[in-house]
Amino acid sequence: MSTTENTESRERGKAPAGERVADWADGRLGIYSLAKSNMRKIFPDHWSFMLGEVCMYSFIIIILTGVYLTLFFHPSMNEVVYHGSYVPLQGQMMSEAFNSTLHISFDVRGGLLIRQIHHWAALIFLAGMFVHMMRVFFTGAFRKPREINWLFGFLLFVLGMFTGFTGYSLPDDLLSGTGVRFTEGAILSMPIVGTYISFFLFGGQFPGHDFVARFYSIHILLLPGIMLGLMVGHLILVFYHKHTQFAGPGKSEKNVVGMPLLPVYMAKAGGFFFLVFGVIAAIAATTQINPIWAMGPYRPDQVSTGAQPDWYMGFAEGLIRYMPGWEINFWGHTLVLGVFIPLVLFGLVLGAIALYPFIESWVTGDKSEHHILDRPRNAPTRTGFGVAWVTVYMIGLIGGGNDLIATHFHLSINDVTWFVRIFFFAGPVIAFIATKRICLGLQRRDRDKVLHGRETGIIKRLPHGEFIEVHEPLSQEQLHTLTAHHQYEPAQVGPAVDENGVERKIKGSEKLRAKLSGAYYGEDNQIPKPTVEEYKEITSGHGHH
Amino acid sequence: MKKLSARRRHPLAAVVVLLLALVGTGGAYALLAPTSKAQADETSQSLTIEEGKKLFSVSCASCHGTGGQGSSDGPSLVGVGAASVDFQVGTGRMPAATSQGPQVVAKKNIFTQAQIDQLAAYVASLGAGPEVPTSEQYGPDGADIAKGGELFRTNCAQCHNFVGSGGALTKGKFAPSLEGVAPKHIYEAMQTGPQNMPSFPDTTLSEKNKKDIIAYLDAVNSPKTVNPGGLNLGGLGPVSEGLFAWIFGLGALIAVAVWVAARTAKAKKS
């Protein structure tokens, strides 16, 4: 805060109005020092660093359109007879929630467009978070000091899933009602507590008269409130840690090379917001989503084929669809493994990616800070794990859409289900091995490029008749980029005797860690990058290879 | 003919006419007895059946047997009724290819409606079954669309999807999309239950119910259906919406991000 009186400027007359307003605000909020430290914050340029922005902007769009929808939506399950303008439902009994959603869609000005923007933005928000999370994962941006921010992001993704679920359940249509029934089944499959939780959630027997009102406050208040807080925390941490960057000349662990927040990024980000809004609005204006009028009001005695959740819950749907319908009877209590195992797997699959950063840092023992991103090929084990995880996720999505895959590719749904069952186990293993081989191959190629230069495609005939391809040496910048990454040594099990020569007990966890570390950095698991000596030896006049 | 007209006043002429009439009636009775209702124009009906039989022996008999009694390749058609023939042949499902996979699919109909009627009359003559509905039965007059929707969601949506976009059944079989299916064929399908579909005779779904369902489908899944929200992406629900969001939504946004990131503020080279 600048509290000193500026007497000199007084004498020269009044300062401009803008400056006086700023002065007034600074005297109370201290904005000058805040601006000084943040206005010139540097952000590096890369398209993949804008994925998080896509998420933030679609979240803002969701909040804005959601507020509009709350003005007209009635979160009530009281039954009414429909007398609105959609003819094929006139005279039908339905809940007020469904009735008011029809009202929004057909009778509120701009209602259907806003509904569709809200829903499309939700799908894109979740897809954006997924891709953003994978970008962070594959470039190793989750490493120290950003582990907490990784967890914030992960929580945003999971809460986004449930906010989406509670949101699309609100209209109380036949499709979402089936989804809520699905959820009730999953809750009931929990041993001992399942029944109690279900009765608590639905206020008695499903569907009851409460869940729309309850989902409504969860959807518009509880979850988005937590998400907003997490998002602000996420952004503060991005500011605090500063943004990561890819390796390159002039870029180090101690600097950030890019453009300042003001004015460049403010303009870019502001413009990008409108581009995101524009793309989503264009889609919403031309493409129908969740036509609840076609699905009809929910009745527990009706069901339709092709009842799937929105894509982000699709892998949970898949887990249930391809799980065999096992159940065991246990002292007069039925344990529905066919539903309970998928429920557990749902948590495990999500938990695996959330906890990965901590597992990696334990295995590698790497405690240093990282601000330079990894190229995915330079971390083959991590990249392999990530691709294996995405494979499990995608297999789940295929399983969730098994009926549509069967009808559209003229396959048998039974074959699709069996394919998915087998590849739930085999897929990640194959993906891990294949990805790792590809990464190592790419590392070898980088090594070749550094040592022997770029293949130009020019064939030269030597005087004695031999044909050679001319290799062009890489520029200094390229050489730096290809060799900037640090290569670790695998962790060893400590000495068998301590400093006094007494035999030491080696813990099992220590052995496991050494073994896993070997899988990361062992001989066959990374290609040694060329050393300066190698480079000099090859380029010091022995001619081309 | 001269001989015949010359002897028309012969004393035995009346006896001969009586005999011929008896044989004719008896023969017609033998042919027509299985049909439930007497036909107005018996001679044209028997001609129709005759023609139908010829068509049948060319196009159907190799699987369904020469008398429609069925064989190892096709079921008996005794008692399936004219409605069944009109549906199966009219939608091009019959005659089926020799190897048709898990289920006989609709294809281009190769018969004229007159020929289908002849085939139907022949098959109907084999045993009583549901008749081809009249346009009064499946027409839109007096139908309750909303009631039809409720009935559709209760009885049909399990296999045919909310608005009849179709869905998968086991082992490669499927419930077809109902878009563009003629009202008469929908009526006949409900009446006769082709292939995997259960039949909904009038005791289960009354004539009025069927009319309502047809009117509902006409409102929500026909070429004249208006999708208030825009492109309906096949009416398949969240799977196609999710794919669309990923490919065109996020895809477009990533393209935009690449475009924005490529335009960085650089000091101008002079």
Task: Check: CB of residue A290 under 8 Å from CB of residue A308.
Answer: no
> CB of A270 within 8 Å of any CB in chain B?
no
Closest CA–CA distance from residue B83 to any residue of chain A (Å): 27
Q: What is the DSSP letter of A264?
A: I
CATH 1.10.760.10 fits B133-225, yes or no: yes
CA atoms within 13 A on the CB side of A354: 15
Question: Does residue A107 surpass a pLDDT of 90?
Answer: yes
In residues, how long is chain A?
A: 545
Q: Do A414 and B170 touch (CB under 8 A)?
A: yes
- The ranges of chain B annotated as CATH 1.10.760.10 are 27-132, 133-225
Considering chain A, what is the average pLDDT of its residues?
91
Question: Does residue A52 surpass a pLDDT of 90?
Answer: yes
Among left, alpha and beta (phi > 0; psi -120 to 50; other), residue A465 is: left
> CB of A394 within 8 Å of any CB in chain B?
no
Q: Do A413 and B168 touch (CB under 8 A)?
A: yes
Question: Does residue B41 surpass a pLDDT of 60?
Answer: no
Instruction: State percent of chain A over pLDDT 90.
Output: 70
- The ranges of chain A annotated as CATH 1.20.810.10 are 42-374
**C-alpha–C-alpha distance, residues B217 and B238, integer Å:** 21
DSSP string, A242-285: ---EE--TT--TT---SEEIIIIIHHHHHHHHHHHHHHHHHHHH
User: Once rounded to an integer, what is the mean pLDDT over residues A244-271?
Assistant: 87
Q: Check residue B238 and give its pLDDT.
A: 93
Interface test with A, best of B169, B218, B239 (most A CBs within 10 A): B239
Q: Check residue B11 and give its pLDDT.
A: 79
Which ipTM value was assigned to this complex? 0.90
Task: For residue A260, give the amino acid letter.
Answer: P
Q: Check residue B9 and give its pLDDT.
A: 75
Domain B27-132, CATH among 1.10.760.10, 2.60.120.580, 3.30.70.250, 1.10.150.240: 1.10.760.10
Query: Which has the higher per-residue pLDDT, A498 or B81?
Result: B81
Q: Check residue A139 and give its pLDDT.
A: 95
Considering chain B, what is the average pLDDT of its residues?
86
**C-alpha–C-alpha distance, residues A129 and B238, integer Å:** 18
Closest CA–CA distance from residue B38 to any residue of chain A (Å): 40
- Residues in A touching B216 (Cβ below 8 Å): 88
Entry pTM: 0.88
Task: Check: CB of residue A470 under 8 Å from CB of residue A243.
Answer: no
Q: Do B161 and A305 touch (CB under 8 A)?
A: yes
> CB of A106 within 8 Å of any CB in chain B?
yes
A-B contacts (CB, under 8 Å):
205
Q: What are phi and psi of A469, to 5 degrees?
A: -95, 135
Range among A225-239, A528-542, B90-104 with highest mean pLDDT value = A225-239
Identify whether B95 is preceded by a cis peptide bond (ω within 30 of 0). yes
User: Mind listing the pLDDT tens digit for each residue in B104-150?
Assistant: 888 888 889 989 998 898 998 888 888 899 988 888 888 999 999 99
DSSP-assigned beta bridge partners for residue A287? B231
pLDDT band at A514 (very low <50, low <70, confident <90, very high): confident
First-last CA distance in chain B: 113
Closest CA–CA distance from residue A314 to any residue of chain B (Å): 8
List Cβ neighbours of A170 (8 Å cut-off, separation of 6 or more).
A73, A75, A97, A101, A176, A212, A215, A216, A219
Question: Does residue A8 surpass a pLDDT of 90?
Answer: no
**C-alpha–C-alpha distance, residues A58 and A272, integer Å:** 11
Q: Check residue A545 and give its pLDDT.
A: 47
Helix ranges (DSSP H) in B143-250: 145-155, 157-160, 183-192, 207-220, 238-244
Closest CA–CA distance from residue B224 to any residue of chain A (Å): 14
Q: Check residue A258 and give its pLDDT.
A: 85
Tokens of B200: 């909904």
Q: Do A406 and B149 touch (CB under 8 A)?
A: no
Q: Check residue A12 and give its pLDDT.
A: 67
User: Which residue of chain B is at minimal alpha-carbon distance from A301?
Assistant: B154
Closest CA–CA distance from residue B42 to any residue of chain A (Å): 44
CATH topology for A42-374 is: Cytochrome Bc1 Complex; Chain C (1.20.810)
DSSP-assigned beta bridge partners for residue A93? A81
Pick the closest to residue B191 from B203, B174, B180 (CA basis): B203
Q: Check residue A11 and give its pLDDT.
A: 59
Instruction: State percent of chain B over pLDDT 70.
Output: 92
pLDDT band at A57 (very low <50, low <70, confident <90, very high): very high
Helices (H) and strands (E) in chain B, counts: 13, 2
DSSP-assigned beta bridge partners for residue A471? A455
Q: Check residue A1 and give its pLDDT.
A: 46
Nearest Cβ partner for A45 among B171, B248, B264: B264
Q: Do A279 and B249 touch (CB under 8 A)?
A: yes
Question: Does residue B44 surpass a pLDDT of 80?
Answer: no
> CB of A541 within 8 Å of any CB in chain B?
no
pLDDT band at B36 (very low <50, low <70, confident <90, very high): very low
Q: Do A299 and B153 touch (CB under 8 A)?
A: yes
Q: Do B146 and A307 touch (CB under 8 A)?
A: no
User: Once rounded to an integer, what is the mean pLDDT over residues A10-28?
Assistant: 85
Q: Check residue B103 and give its pLDDT.
A: 86
User: Mind listing the pLDDT tens digit for each residue in A152-175?
Assistant: 999 999 999 999 999 999 999 999
Q: Check residue A300 and give its pLDDT.
A: 92
